[in-house]
Amino acid sequence: MMAETPENAAPVATRCGFVALIGAPNVGKSTLVNALVGSKVTIVSRKVQTTRALIRGIVIDNNAQIILVDTPGIFAPKRRLDRAMVSTAWVGAHDADLVCVLLDAKAGIDEEAEAIFAKLAIVNHPKILVINKVDIVSKEKLLKLAQAANERLKFAETFMVSAMTGDGVDDLRHKLAAMVPAGPFHYPEDQMSDAPMRHLAAEITREKIFRQLHQELPYQSTVETDTWTERKDKSIRIEQTIFVERESQRKIVLGKGGATIKSIGADARKEIAEIVGVPVHLFLFVKVRENWGDDPNRYREMGLEFPKE
Ligand SMILES: Nc1nc2c(ncn2[C@@H]2O[C@H](COP(=O)(O)OP(=O)(O)OP(=O)(O)O)[C@@H](O)[C@H]2O)c(=O)[nH]1
């Protein structure tokens, strides 16, 4: 039990962390995110071609900010370029503070679940097993499933929930809040609801850059969404900055007469507009930021793993 904090005591320390949600398609990830966050989350991950960790939702519970991320594209990429990117998708799991592995109670440990278990064997962060859809499966079957899963992988905790009815979801949220590391909130509270879309938009632009320039740029550039403004006519104005390390790279991103950045912007704008369902005005800026590569926080913010020595 947690002790009551006296009113004159120092402010309660906050906690904040990234929780990666991993599970086969249809296991109920979106439903669980909605249940954990408590409101409809707008991102439809299926439409998104990117393979990197995406913020699905952010929730505050017991002075903890829990940032729920998932890694679309973890499964069977068809194109070669996608395959090349998929290895980075698992960085989402390595980079998170906690990993939630979702199992569909009805489907049990199928081929996809086995593949996930195998991949996760080398991920060192605490892993939590979440068996979802308990509303449609007998207790007996659930217990057997929990046991079988725990024999395959060492889970710190096992939860049985129904994302649909909300059964067990509060307990899971409280546990995640208790397990994320101590630290300040990563997102100001007034940006929490926009953060997933801002992050997704940045990720889309980053991916367009990668697709057009992966042979010329020796690393994955970073993109940040600076402003996200809904205009009176319901269209959205987005300003983003692409950060590169050197002037020569800035020239590559701009291209002759700005042709490359124009094309990147057009592709990104189209995809973002499809997802948000309204016209988008996208403004891209390219800036040289020396030494950003030395800052581990920057890497983390971008969902990248800080390169080890
Ligand atoms: N009975 C039951 N059905 C659920 C539960 N959670 C999710 N579902 C259903 O399972 C299906 C898949 O749920 P989603 O949340 O879309 O699954 P997802 O894992 O996000 O799917 P992808 O986007 O393909 O990764 C939907 O039809 C949900 O209504 C649950 O707790 N119980």
Q: Pick 219 or 92 by higher pLDDT.
A: 219
Beta carbons of 284 and 265 less than 8 angstroms apart: yes
Separation of 30 CA from ligand 1 center, angstroms? 7
Nearest residue CA, atom 2 of ligand 1? 133
User: Does ipTM come in above 0.90?
Assistant: yes
**Could you tell me the CATH number of the domain that includes residue 267?**
3.30.300.20
Ligand 1 atom nearest the C-alpha of 45 is 23
pLDDT tens figures, 272-303 = 998 888 999 999 999 998 765 555 555 455 44
* Beta strands, E only, the chain: 15-22, 54-61, 64-70, 98-104, 127-132, 157-160, 222-230, 236-244, 280-288
Closest residue by CA, ligand 1 atom 30: 133
DSSP label of 182: B
CA distance 205 to 267: 8
The protein residue with its alpha carbon nearest to ligand 1, atom 13, reads 28
Q: What is the pLDDT of residues 112-143, one digit of tens each?
A: 888 888 888 877 889 999 999 999 999 999 99
Q: Quick check: is 286 in a domain?
A: yes
Q: Which of 2-6, 44-48, 151-155 has the highest mean pLDDT?
A: 151-155
Q: Are residues 19 and 152 in the same domain?
A: yes
164, 165, 167: which to mutate for ligand 1, most atoms within 8 A of CB?
164
pLDDT of res. 306: 45
Query: What is the tally of structural domains in the chain?
Result: 2
Of 118, 151, 179, which residue is a domain's last? 179
Closest CA to 209 of 199, 201, 198, 221: 221
Q: How many CB atoms within 10 Å of residue 16? A: 21
Asked whether residue 307 is domain-assigned, the answer is no
Q: What is the tens place of the pLDDT at every residue in 25-76?
A: 889 988 999 899 987 665 544 455 555 567 888 999 999 999 998 765 554 4
pTM value? 0.75
Distance 76 CA to ligand 1 centre (A): 20
What CATH number is associated with residue 69? 3.40.50.300
Of 179, 212, 245, the residue at which a domain comes to its end is: 179
Q: What is the per-residue pLDDT across 76-108, written as a single tens digit (0 to 9) for each?
A: 444 444 444 444 445 555 568 899 999 999 999
